[in-house]
Amino acid sequence: SSGSAGTSGTRFDLERETELRFEVEAGERVQLELLSGLAEVFGSELNRNKKYTFGPGSKIAVFTWQGCSVSLSGKTEVAYISKDTPMLLYLNTHAALEQMRRQAGKDNERGPRVMVVGPTDVGKTTVCRVLLNYAVRLGRRPTLVELDVGQSSVSVPGTMSALCIERPADVEEGFSVQAPLVFHFGSTTPGTNIKLYNKLTSNLAEVFSQRCEVNRRASVGGCIINTCGWVKGSGYQALVHCASAFQVDVVIVLDQERLYNELKRDLPHFVRVVLLPKSGGVVERSKDCRRESRDEKVREYFYGFRGTSFYPHAFDVRFSDVRIYKIGAPSIPDSCLPLGMSQDDTQLKLVPVSPGRDLTHHVLSVSSVDDDAEVGAGQSRGILESPVCGFIVVTAVDTQAQVMTVLSPAPRPLPRHTLLIMDIRFIDLK
């Protein structure tokens, strides 16, 4: 059913309910074109006779409900058609969620709040994208809640965010990220500071619920929560916490029966826990691959994405004009804690940082907290509740002159003066 070379590439004829999977080789680009029929990429419909370009390392599935012909040109690592996909199960799940939205609309209730969980590399992010696309294609306004601090689809790594979805994801670039609500976590694994992770999950839940109270469409649209692949120990507890903070109605467990059983046991009985298979097309990603895509995310933040180039600014910031903090003091044994202080307090504590050379290359979040907000006694009140208004990277530190040079998406001055340090480093090679 495939292989006949067209004028501009290899032609693939797909039967209904099958998908063409391909991966783009390192350093290469691949162009995809829909020649006839209907097809979609992770729930976003393809336009006919339009060339879609995918960059190095992209792992894509072109799925068709009705049958189609497509052509691929450029170097693919693999390209094959599979008849064995769970898309029908995902569509049925979407239909059930849509039924809940319809009912919510009628009864003046809120729509489904869905948490997608599973170990690493089972297609969690992809399932979220498919469900959001199907919902928004029906005119719904679901919210994507991104809790994966390692591979955020909304903002730079080390953040937790919420994004109202108003149109399907762009086939090449994903969801358009205008005005996301972003919180600073600071590292790429929840385990670095699980208290902070849970606290920020609660913050997001609260902001989302407030929005639902004033925005009927957001309320009926509900949310799809993407989570990390860490599903054991504190990672598991974080999932349970999230389910309760967001008062989720549905949990989709991908590919792990044990996790499914645990959640069924530990969540309230009215939460519907559903086990779904992972797609055979989901590709495992190595540590290096993950690191690269994190780096790419930061680069995109400053320099834009292919079609749209940004031109970041470099300027000096005087130490005396900013206050820099790290969230969380290094944990100390319980027995050494001052009387009346708990481990929670240390993990949520705001630790002032005096800039030194080791700050070089670090990504800093610019907090939206009021510049003259009191930061009393090392307490982070106000700052933890404040979203981030942007990010900068420290490119050089001059301790003699007491200034640092930063890379910023906007020209000087910084919009706010409270900066939070990330563990994440970015080396600007441009």
Q: Which residues make up the interface to Mn ion (CB under 5 A)?
A: 124-125
Of 98-106, 119-127, 389-397, 420-428, the window that binds ligand ATP (rule: CB under 6 A) is 119-127
Nearest 5°: the CA angle 423, 185, 346 is: 90
Residue type, 60: I
Output the CA–CA distances (angstroms, integers) from residue 72 to 22, 28, 43, 119, in the order listed: 9, 13, 19, 32
Residue 375 CB neighbours (<10 A): 17
Residue 80 CB neighbours (<10 A): 12
Distance of alpha carbon 184 from alpha carbon 422, whole angstroms: 8
User: Which lies closer to ligand ATP via its Cβ, residue 113 or residue 124?
Assistant: 124
DSSP letter for each residue of 333-386: -GGGSPTT--HHHHHT-EEE----GGGTTEEEEEE-S-TT---GGG--TTTTTS
Q: Which of 142, 157, 168, 281 binds ligand ATP (CB under 6 A)?
A: 281
Q: How many CA atoms lie within 13 A of 58 on its CB side?
A: 26
Under rule CB under 6 A, residue 148 binds ligand ATP: yes
Nearest residue to ligand ATP, by Cβ distance, number only: 281
Under rule CB under 6 A, residue 189 binds ligand ATP: no
Q: Which of 2, 120, 234, 368 binds ligand ATP (CB under 6 A)?
A: 120
Angle between helices 124-137 and 87-107 (to 10 degrees): 50
Of 156-164, 171-179, 215-223, 282-290, the window that binds ligand ATP (rule: CB under 6 A) is 282-290
Under rule CB under 6 A, residue 18 binds ligand ATP: no
Of 1-9, 56-64, 94-102, 379-387, the window that binds ligand ATP (rule: CB under 6 A) is 56-64
Under rule CB under 6 A, residue 93 binds ligand ATP: no
Of 6-14, 115-123, 156-164, 204-212, the window that binds ligand ATP (rule: CB under 6 A) is 115-123
* Nearest alpha-carbon partner for 331 in 314, 352, 345, 313: 345
x/- mask, ligand ATP, residues 231-270, rule CB under 6 A, reads: ----------------------------------------
Under rule CB under 6 A, residue 275 binds ligand ATP: no
- The residue written with tokens 């007491």 in the block is 402
Six-digit token string for 317: 């910031």
Under rule CB under 6 A, residue 151 binds ligand ATP: yes
Shortest distance (Å) from residue 121 CB to Mn ion? 8
34 binds, among ligand ATP, Mn ion, none (CB under 5 to 8 A by kind): none
Decide if 42 contacts 48 (C-beta within 8 A): no
Size of the residue set binding ligand ATP (CB under 6 A): 19
DSSP-derived 3-state class of residue 224 = strand
Of 57-65, 210-218, 365-373, 407-415, the window that binds ligand ATP (rule: CB under 6 A) is 57-65
Question: Who contacts 116 (Cβ-Cβ below 8 Å, separation ≥6)?
Answer: 124, 127, 128, 131, 224, 225, 226, 227, 251, 252, 254
Under rule CB under 6 A, residue 168 binds ligand ATP: no
Q: Which of 91, 177, 274, 283 binds ligand ATP (CB under 6 A)?
A: 283
Under rule CB under 6 A, residue 94 binds ligand ATP: no
x/- mask, ligand ATP, residues 392-411, rule CB under 6 A, reads: --------------------
Shortest distance (Å) from residue 129 CB to ligand ATP? 8
Residue type, 208: F
Under rule CB under 6 A, residue 40 binds ligand ATP: no
28 binds, among ligand ATP, Mn ion, none (CB under 5 to 8 A by kind): none
Helix (H) or strand (E) holding 201: helix 194-214
Chain centre to alpha carbon of residue 118: 15
Positions in the binding site for ligand ATP (CB under 6 A): 21, 59-61, 120-126, 148, 151, 229, 279, 281-283, 285
